[in-house]
Structure 1
Amino acid sequence: MVVSTPVLGLAVLIYLMVIFYLGWVGYKKTKDIDDYMIAGRKIHSYVLALSYGATFISTSAIVGFGGAAGVLGMGLLWLTFMNVFVGIFIAFVIFGSKTRRMGLNLRAVTFPELMGRRFESRFIQGFSGILLGIFMPLYSGIVLIGAARFLETTLGINYDVAVLVFTVIIAAYVITGGLIAVMYTDALQGALMFVGMGVLMFLTYSKLGGITEAHRMLTDMAPLVPESLVQGGHLGWTAMPAFGSTLWWTLVSTLVLGVGIGVLAQPQLAVRFMTVKDDRALNRAVLVGGPFIFMMTGVAFTVGALSNAYFYKTQNLISIAVAKGNTDLIIPEYINSSMPDLFVILFMLTLLAAAMSTLSSQFHTMGTAIGHDFYREYLMKGKSGKTVTITKLGIAVTILASVILAYMLPISIIASATAIFFGLCAAAFLPMYTGALFWKRMTKEGAIASLIVGTFSSLFWLVFVHAKEASPLGISQALFGKATLLTGTWTVIDPILVATPLAILAAVVVSLVTSPPSNEHLETCYGKKAINR
């Protein structure tokens, strides 16, 4: 089905007018570098919660992971639990308050700057900035893919055109309005996403005869699982894969743990903790952020799995067959074939909101990483120069890289690429970030060791061991004559389970054998009261 009605045009026009208005408001409120980088540290708690959630949940979650649930089943709901418990509760209550206070004490305006100032290292800030500038386009590229695929399926427009037009719209308000514009538009988009996903859940269960009947139907379809998936350990769409099987390791280590833990070390999310004025705002945000994430991911994963029941009922096919082998098309195909035209329009706006909110934050983070962290603090040694100009140029360059990747990346890539980026951030940043907040004894040398070990061990595992990336890349094959350096279960264990422990070990060992930071510096970071306790 291709939707093409005056209602669609009017809906999109109104939506874009509101988005550009909020972008203009952000532009008018942006007076200095603190406004551009961290929204002036005075964002309302509800705006924070919706912005954080809308940044976290993108088309990669709805389209990519929803499609993955169409193949792997409801075991992916464990990721919903991780998203709420780790991504909201632990992130806001445990990490958020300490991040906010330390960011204020050190006058940090980006995540790399927070780490650099805590450990008195321009190298940490510069390396972190360039790492984000190089690898975050992979994440933003797959978010673009998710939105463009739905536009392609729904409107019947060329995929390449959809990518380009969509990118230009987002770039316009991110480059001009900074983080204030990003967070205002995120909040609106988050509210729209919540409504859209709620209606999707209701309509899906209605189509399948109610909750009990829908789940019974899906359970009874276990014999229809393709033989290739059965050999990988698939036991049906309402069951976890067989323990220790290839699919079990993929589901648990790559998707659930890779994304569920990796969220704590996402710079575009962590920086939001520094945009509010007090801890009360963070605590209030949990009450909005928790239900939001639960609804977004829970509905996407449930509907993705249940799409099998709908397609079998209507076409005598399972979801992956309808999508012709491309998991990224399962959710778009399901929406377009099962839902009324009016909802298709609403859901298209929901996906536009999801993609725009995440991409705007990614583009802003990549730009500040290049312009502020790498250019100003590392190359220029703290001299102001043309920081905002270079930041805007950095945004433009990384947008271009994201678009190129959206054109080049293969099918069924969204969930995997998301897990790769989240896992890399966990290995590179999480041990250093955790130590910065909770371990005063952690030294600059320990932080650098953790950053380097986490980054390169993660990349090594991706290139030479983890079969899903190593085999198509072919680097191991070219250098050593075999697709992966290790065999068996090792080839399906995600890098996060290897690289992150190594980074933690490096941080602890090196910190213990090097001189601790001075009390004066620790007082600056944590405050005198925290040091005296």
Structure 2
Amino acid sequence: MDQMFWTYFFVGTTFALYIGIAVWAKAGSTDDFYVAGHDVHPTVNGMATAADWMSAASFLSMAGLIAFLGYGGSVYLMGWTGGYVLLALLLAPFLREFGKFTVPDFVGDRYYSTFARVIAVVCALFVSFTYIAGQMKGVGVAFSGFLGVDFNVGILIGMFIVFVYAVLGGMKGITYTQVAQYCVLIFAYTVPAIFMSMIITGNPIPQLGFIGNAAGTDVSMLEKLNQTVTDLGFLEYTQSNKSMIDIFAITGALMFGTAGLPHVIIRFFTVSSAQAARVSAGWALVFIALLYTTAPAVGAFARLNFIDSVNDATYIAETGPDYSTKAAELTAAGQKPVPQWYKDWEPTGLLKFEDKNGDGIMQYRGPNSPDGIENEVNPNRDIFVLANPQIAQLPGWVIGLVVAGGLAAALSTAAGLLMVISSAVSHDLCRRTFFPDMDDKTELRVARFAAAGAVCAAGLLGIYASQLGFVAQVVAFAFGLAAASLFPIIFLGIFWKRMNKEGAIVSMLVGLISTFGYIYFFKFGGGSPEQYLFGVSPEGIGFVFMFLSIIVGVVVSLMTAPPPQDIQDLVEDIRVPGTRQSHGVADAGMAPAE
């Protein structure tokens, strides 16, 4: 059985499973659609949270960035890991104690303001649509890779799959679908890592192989990789060309952005209590660690394999049987033909070879090329987790499993983000703001229509996301927006009773507008790195503007009237599990003061 059979087998089987779960867990009420009835077991929720968290950025792009940026790519690993710990310990239990459906729900009631709720909806939509653009780009990479179709066609196929199970099942269907997706993606990530670790280091445990010696030598794997990349004119793998302040800022933006991400926070509303939220957070950390501790090894192995496979290979323009014939002739003549995996990925447009010197040889070089040869090979870094098994010539079933895992990672997070978007429109804007007399049945219908519309918008964003950068970089923008706009008002709303509606509104607006404006200027407005504020790139600027947002919010709050006493009592209550109702504040929320 060949690679294509196994790819179709694993992808077809897993998709049938996801859709079957969505049908089985079809939401019958708004409670089911938004928060899965508040009765998800903590362990199950931990696994679903891990799948929600480990998006296309984690599965597809993070290892690719680490592979090509080396130490500089570790900011994504550090930021996302630390951010989840921050969210789990600092915010999630208290938000669950508050008992709301959504983050804008918390903002609207905590800050006793309809206008604050609307601004929170705008922030959530900005963050979610930016994030989902990266996910749909990952879906396009995965589908285009295994089907051999254009990237944009791959996105359209992914849109249809997400539409079926997200719109039908709501959060209840998504929760149990994400459990299945976690199982698929973690096996898909670790199995090829074990194979590659055995081949390159002789150690079956990737985490140990990463810090061990290369197979059959006394040289460490990282030393070998450093020597390999520097010989080709690249910076040492264990060094970075990013400034220390930029590394710190990107890590901070990812950490604090995690604590403000609506689609992650909403997962903790699906369990029965604040205690259950803490337990599920602990399980989620365990499940996440399985992938995150493996990612550095996958990135390092990918870089070595890619260089060995492509550098100084003779390019063959032909495909199919003609390629096989020409490759055999070159091999017999003692030459190195372009590998089959490269020809498989070439139709996607995600690999490019430009024969600058006309010799037909694929020279892969860095900016400091010692032989003066220009680089001729430009790979998209998002493909490397998917392409790794082919590059390493692993069995066909491993390749098919990885494709299914990549799709599971991208689709699981895309579905969670769609829930945030649909609930923001149907619950926070329609029912809680503009149409307070709306019944549950109508709200559920609006939520499904909103999710369907969001799928279409997400697909278009995914198509244009390639203009912003790699999947992880696009996602980093979403984290920066969340760090600057949502984290400050959630954090201050829980831990500072004096924070009022005026401070919250100004804080969100300052954080959102400043961060979005900075990203837009440097990605679309012609800004150059020499103009970076304090040397901080767009990926990390949300961390800087987060402090500006906090300061502005505090100053405005101190200059205006304090919150009503019942709001201050509410803040006290949500920090003490079990006392949520002691001051007469019902879960249905309070009437806004405006």
TM-score, normalization by structure 2? 0.78
Residue pairs, 1:25-424, within 5 angstroms: 25-27=24-26, 30-77=27-74, 79-87=76-84, 89-102=85-98, 104=99, 108-210=100-202, 211=209, 212-214=212-214, 216-222=220-226, 225=229, 234=235, 236-237=236-237, 239-241=238-240, 245-246=241-242, 248=244, 251-254=247-250, 256-316=251-311, 324-338=378-392, 339-380=394-435, 383-384=438-439, 386-410=442-466, 412-424=469-481
CA 1:92–1:319 in 2, change beyond 3 Å: closer, same or farther?
A: farther
**2:558 counterpart letter in structure 1:** L
Distance between the aligned counterparts of 2:164 and 2:493, measured in 1? 35
Asked if the contact 1:137–1:399 (Cα under 8 Å) also holds between the matched residues in 2, the reply is no
Do 1:62 and 1:297's aligned partners in 2 also have CA atoms closer than 8 Å?
Answer: no
Residues 301/401 of structure 1: CA separation in 2 closer, same or farther (3 Å cut): farther
Equivalents in 2 of 1:253, 1:206: separation in Å? 36
Amino acid at match of 2:470: I
Sort the Cα spacing of 1:144 and 1:135 in 2 relative to 1 into closer, same or farther, 3 A.
same
Unpaired segments ≥5 residues, structure 2: 203-208, 313-363, 367-374, 583-594
Contact 1:240 1:248 in 2 (8 A): no
Distance between the aligned counterparts of 1:83 and 1:224, measured in 2? 29
- Supply the AA of the counterpart residue of 1:519: Q
Q: 2:245 touches 2:535 (CA, 8 Å); kept in 1?
A: no
Q: Per-residue displacement from partner, 1:324-349 (whole Å, max 9, x unpaired)?
A: 24222233332322232111111111
Contact 2:7 2:403 in 1 (8 A): no
Distance 1:326 1:284, change over 3 A: same
Find the counterpart in structure 2 of residue 490 from structure 1. Answer: 535
Deviations 1:495-519 (A, max 9, x none): 1232101001012111222222222
Distance across 2 between alignment mates of 1:529 and 1:251: 33
Q: In the alignment, is residue 446 of structure 1 matched against residue 492 of structure 2?
A: no
Using a 3 Å threshold, how does the CA distance of structure 1 residues 156 and 226 change in structure 2: closer, same or farther? Answer: farther
Q: Distance in 1 between matches of 2:450 and 2:399?
A: 35
* SS state at 2:294 partner: helix
Q: 1:170 to 1:43 in 2, by over 3 A?
A: same
Contact 2:494–2:571 (8 Å) recurs in 1: no
Within the candidate set 409, 417, 435, 2:492 is matched to 435
CA distance 1:319–1:382, change in 2 (3 Å): farther
* Structure 2 residue identity aligned to 1:403: G
CA contact (8 A) 1:259 1:418 kept: no
Structure 1 pair 408/167, CA: closer, same or farther in 2 (3 Å)? same
CA shift, 1:225, in A, is 4.2
Given that 1:323 and 1:333 are in contact with CA atoms closer than 8 Å, whether structure 2 keeps it comes out as no
- For the structure 1 residues 392 and 461, does the alpha-carbon distance in structure 2 shift closer, same or farther, using more than 3 Å as the test? same
Equivalent residue of 1:410, what SS? helix
Structure 1 residue identity aligned to 2:552: A
Instruction: Please tell me whether the aligned partners of residues 249 and 492 of structure 1 are also in contact (alpha carbons under 8 angstroms).
Output: no
| Helix, strand or coil at the partner of 1:400 | helix
1:359-381 deviation per Cα after TM superposition (whole angstroms, max 9, x unaligned): 11111111111222123323335
Cα 1:528–1:407 change in 2 (3 A) is: closer
Q: Match of 2:22, SS?
A: helix
CA shift in 2, pair 1:290/1:322, >3 Å? farther
List runs of 5+ in structure 1 lacking aligned partners: none
Local SS of the residue matching 1:198 = helix
User: Would you tell me which structure has more helix in proportion to its own residues?
Assistant: 1
The structural deviation recorded for 1:483 is 5.2
| Larger CA Rg, structure 1 vs 2 | 2
Using the alignment, how far apart are the partners of 1:378 and 1:323 within structure 2? Answer: 53
**8 Å CA contact 1:265, 1:429 repeated in 2:** yes
Structure-2 separation of matches of 1:58 and 1:319: 31
Which sits farther off after the overlay, 484-493 or 258-267? 484-493
Distance verdict in 2 for CA 1:16–1:326, change over 3 Å: closer
Whether the 8 Å contact between 2:386 and 2:402 is mirrored in structure 1 is no
Shift, 1:457, TM fit: 1.3
Letter in 2 for 1:394: A
- Larger CA deviation: 261-270 vs 387-396: 387-396
Q: Distance in 2 between matches of 1:182 and 1:528?
A: 27
Cα distance 1:227–1:270, how it changes in 2: closer, same or farther (>3 A)? farther
In structure 2, C-alpha distance between the alignment counterparts of 1:524 and 1:439, rounded to whole Å: 11
Q: Secondary structure at the match of 1:73?
A: helix
For 2:292, the aligned partner's letter is: T
- Please state how far the C-alpha of 1:178 moved relative to its aligned partner: 1.1
CA RMSD, aligned part only?
A: 3.0
8 Å CA contact 1:196–1:347 kept in 2: the answer is yes
SS for the counterpart of 2:378 is coil
The answer on whether the counterparts of 1:76 and 1:301 sit within 8 Å (CA) in structure 2 is no
1:376–1:387: 8 Å Cα contact kept in structure 2? yes
Please say which of residues 523-532 and 139-148 is displaced more in the overlay.
523-532
Greater Cα offset, 166-175 or 378-387 = 378-387
Q: Which residue is 1:522 aligned to?
A: 568
When residues 382 and 417 of structure 1 are mapped into structure 2, their CA distance, relative to the original with a 3 A threshold, is farther
Cα shift at 1:249: 5.1
- Once residues 300 and 249 of structure 2 are traced to their aligned partners in structure 1, the CA distance between those partners, rounded to angstroms, is 20
Give the letter for the 2:56 counterpart. T
Bigger mean CA deviation after superposition, 169-178 or 426-435: 169-178
User: Which range is displaced more, 518-527 or 351-360?
Assistant: 518-527
Moved more, 178-187 or 149-158: 149-158
1:459 and 2:516 aligned: yes
Deviation at 1:391, TM superposition (A): 2.0
By how many angstroms is 1:260 displaced? 2.5
Aligned length: 503
State the one-letter code of the partner of 1:377: R
Aligned to 1:3: 3
1:517 alignment partner, SS class: coil
Q: CA deviation at 1:279?
A: 3.1
8 Å CA contact retained: 1:74, 1:302: no
| Corresponding letter in the other structure for 2:226 | A
Task: Decide whether aligned partners of structure 1 residues 9 and 100 sit closer, same or farther in structure 2, where only a CA change above 3 A counts.
Answer: same
Shift of 1:71: 1.3
CA distance in 2: counterparts of 1:319 and 1:131, whole angstroms: 42
